[in-house]
């Protein structure tokens, strides 16, 4: 049996962060440019003060909320833009962002944050993440300073680092994989 791994051995030390005073517009841009779905929020001393995720942003933008205007199409049907019919309509995503763009991250971030410490057992934090449906855990030192982040991808990488699972067969890169019970390729 392999020794248990510590969070410090699997966490990512390169963390994209936001500041409490950053705007929602800036957060959206950072997420889109970096292909991330969440980021820790830190103060000027790099101490963790919160976390913000794509879902927090979408909730704040009130995606799917209704307002008075042109009627919304019934579910499953395409609407006719500008049909002039009074009623309820869904707010367009861009319109929602423009209305909320200057709101500071501090107003929508989650705080306090569930965290990990570098010397915690990685498997215990993995269980916590699964049980609480958490996608990422900021890793802080004893002073609350952000030193890394532990994500679900890191946990999968940890499993791979511990060696092949019993019965796992490595596959060759490239080439054609034959489907079970048949030949590779078409007729």
Write down the domain spans for the chain. 7-75+82-161
| pLDDT score of 106 | 95
d(CA 164, CA 88): 55
- pLDDT for 122 beyond 90: yes
For residues 20 and 72, the model is more confident at 20
Contact 110, 51 (CB under 8 A): yes
Lowest mean pLDDT among 104-108, 138-142, 173-177: 173-177
Structure token digits, residue 25: 């517009």
Mean pLDDT of 31-44: 95
How large a percentage of the chain has pLDDT more than 70?
A: 63
Average pLDDT over residues 107-133: 94
Nearest to 95, CA basis, from 64, 120, 125: 64
pLDDT band for 40, please (50, 70, 90 cuts).
very high
What is the pLDDT, as a whole number, of residue 157?
81
List Cβ neighbours of 168 (8 Å cut-off, separation of 6 or more).
Answer: none
Task: Provide the H-helix boundaries in the chain.
Answer: 7-10, 24-34, 54-60, 93-100, 122-132, 152-161
Residue-level pLDDT at 100: 66
Q: Where are the beta strands (DSSP E) in the chain?
A: 38-42, 48-53, 66-70, 86-90, 136-140, 146-151
Does the 7-75+82-161 domain belong in CATH 3.10.20.90? Answer: no
Strands 146-151 and 136-140: antiparallel
Task: Copy the structure tokens of residue 108.
Answer: 């929508």
Which tokens go with 5? 């791994």
Kindly tell me if the per-residue pLDDT of 187 is higher than 60.
Answer: no
Give the closest residue to 40 by CA, choosing from 130, 116, 124, 102. 116
If we measure between CA atoms, which residue out of 15, 37, 36, 5 comes closest to residue 148?
15
Give yes or no for a contact between 67 and 99, defined as CB atoms under 8 angstroms apart. Answer: no
Q: Report pLDDT for 173.
A: 56
Distance CA 150, CA 87 (A): 46
- Which structure tokens are listed for 165? 């699972």
- The pTM is what? 0.69
Q: What is the mean pLDDT of residues 68-93?
A: 52
């Amino acid at each position: 049996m392999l020794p248990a791994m510590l969070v410090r051995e699997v966490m990512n030390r390169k963390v994209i962060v936001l500041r409490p005073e950053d705007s929602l517009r800036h957060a959206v841009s950072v997420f889109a440019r970096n292909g991330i779905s969440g980021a820790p929020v830190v103060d000027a001393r790099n101490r963790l003060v919160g976390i913000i995720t794509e879902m927090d942003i979408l909730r704040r933008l009130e995606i799917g909320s209704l307002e008075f205007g042109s009627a919304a199409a019934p579910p499953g049907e395409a609407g006719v833009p500008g049909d002039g019919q009074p009623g309820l309509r869904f707010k367009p995503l861009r319109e929602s962002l423009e209305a909320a763009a200057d709101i500071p991250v501090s107003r929508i971030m989650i705080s306090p944050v569930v965290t990990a410490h570098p010397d915690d057992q990685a498997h215990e934090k993995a269980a916590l993440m699964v049980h609480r449906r958490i996608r990422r855990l900021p890793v802080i030192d004893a002073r609350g300073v952000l030193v890394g982040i532990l994500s679900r991808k890191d946990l999968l990488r940890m499993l791979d680092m511990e060696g092949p699972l019993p019965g796992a067969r490595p596959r060759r890169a490239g080439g054609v994989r034959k489907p079970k019970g048949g030949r590779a390729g078409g007729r």
